[in-house]
Amino acid sequence: MVKLGANLKDPETVKATIANQSQWKEAQKEAVVFAYDLYARYYQIAWIKPRYKAIRQLPFIPQEREIDDLIAGCNAEIALFLQFAKETGARAGEIYRLQWTDIDFEGHTVSLIAEKNSNPRVFRLSNKLYNMLCAVKKTDPRIFNRYKNLNNLRRTYQKHRKKLSKSLANPRLQFIMFHTLRHWKGSTEYHKTKDILHVMAILGHKNIKNTMLYTQLLTVEKEDSFVCKIAQTTQQATELIEQGFEYICDMESLKLFRKRK
- Tens of pLDDT, residues 146-200: 888 999 999 999 999 999 999 999 999 999 999 999 999 999 898 888 899 999 9
- Determine the CATH number of domain 64-215: 1.10.443.10
pTM recorded for the entire structure: 0.70
Confidence of residue 217 (pLDDT cuts 50, 70, 90): low
- Tens of pLDDT, residues 83-126: 999 999 999 999 999 999 999 999 999 999 988 788 999 999 99
Q: Where are the domains of the chain?
A: 1-57, 64-215, 226-260
Residues ≥6 apart with Cβ < 8 Å to 223: none
Question: CB atoms < 10 A from the CB of 12, how many?
Answer: 11
Alpha carbon distance 14, 238 (integer Å)? 63
- Tens of pLDDT, residues 19-68: 888 888 888 888 899 999 999 999 999 999 998 876 667 788 999 999 99
Q: Edge-to-edge, what's the strand order for the sheet holding 246-251?
A: 226-231, 254-260, 246-251
pLDDT the model gives residue 224: 59
Return the ∠ at Cα 88 (arms to 256 and 122), rounded to 5°: 105
pLDDT the model gives residue 5: 53
Helix extents (H) in the chain? 11-19, 26-42, 64-73, 76-88, 92-96, 127-134, 150-167, 178-193, 196-203, 208-211, 234-242
